[in-house]
Amino acid sequence: MEDELSRAFAALADPIRRDIVARLTADDMTVTEIASDYDVSLQAVSKHLRVLEAAGLISRRRDGQQRWAHLEVDVFDLLTGWIDTYRRRAELRHQRLDEILRRST
Amino acid sequence: MEDELSRAFAALADPIRRDIVARLTADDMTVTEIASDYDVSLQAVSKHLRVLEAAGLISRRRDGQQRWAHLEVDVFDLLTGWIDTYRRRAELRHQRLDEILRRST
DNA sequence: TTCGTACTCAACCGCAAGGTTGAATAAACG
DNA sequence: CGTTTATTCAACCTTGCGGTTGAGTACGAA
């Protein structure tokens, strides 16, 4: 788990972190706001946010006492980019297979 | 890590497993074939394949002594489905924000 | 039936992940 | 200033992951 792709996939493997990401699509939120939604400690949520930040999925801005989390959608492109590359490759292979089968009959 | 989505994200968080998936887009492969590509034991690769299977990313077929791994692309849709849902939601929010800003000037 | 090949099972190890609690820092407020 | 509020840091615990080695299973070939 070194590269950005691994960090992004790993970050989204946790249900709480996925849910945080989902909520951040509606609005930027503070740590306390986010933590109130879950049955874990504030510190645990703080850790989750650090993981999301390290994965590039969120950015953070300090405003007085509060730290606002903001969703960064660019990493989504990284993920779908990887997935689509190999999905396309798999589909191409099937198309070629189908063609061979069609020609051989 | 209980649901399919978590298992799929977690499965792809590992570079070796991502590489296995990538290679399986070209052709079905046996455990030994796959293992020859990496600097880990056959047993380690066997474990990786079990993880990929549990995530629904591959299926396996026994043929004599060999077990062939076959890529199952449907899980890709599950992942891109999740990602696109929230990307779209984030983009909608920004559009609304832009509109409000435009109207208020 | 014996032997080699392909693979899995089982036990173990080191380490990181996700959780906790308690203390520290930092800003707002009286 | 002292106190409350927001957040992080630090130490710790337990669990799971990715790796290993060694033994077991299952099939093919001789």
Distance CA B50, CA A26 (A): 37
Q: What is the mean pLDDT of residues B7-14?
A: 98
**Which of B1, B25, B90 lies at the smallest CB-CB distance from A25?**
B90
**Strand C: which of residues 66-105 in chain A lie with Cβ below 7 A?**
none
Looking at residue B93, what is its pLDDT?
85
CATH of the domain at A25: 1.10.10.10
pLDDT tens figures, A22-80: 999 999 999 999 999 999 999 999 999 999 999 999 999 999 999 999 999 999 999 99
Q: Which nucleotides of C are covered by protein (CB under 7 A)?
A: 4-10, 16-23, 26-28
Domain that holds residue B95: 4-103
- φ/ψ of B29, rounded to 5, equals -140, 155
Helix (H) or strand (E) holding A58: strand A58-63
Comparison of pLDDT for A88 and B99, the residue scoring more: A88
Token couple for A16: 């709480």
Q: What is the pLDDT of residue A1?
A: 63
> How many domains does chain B divide into?
1
Contact A14, A48 (CB under 8 A): yes
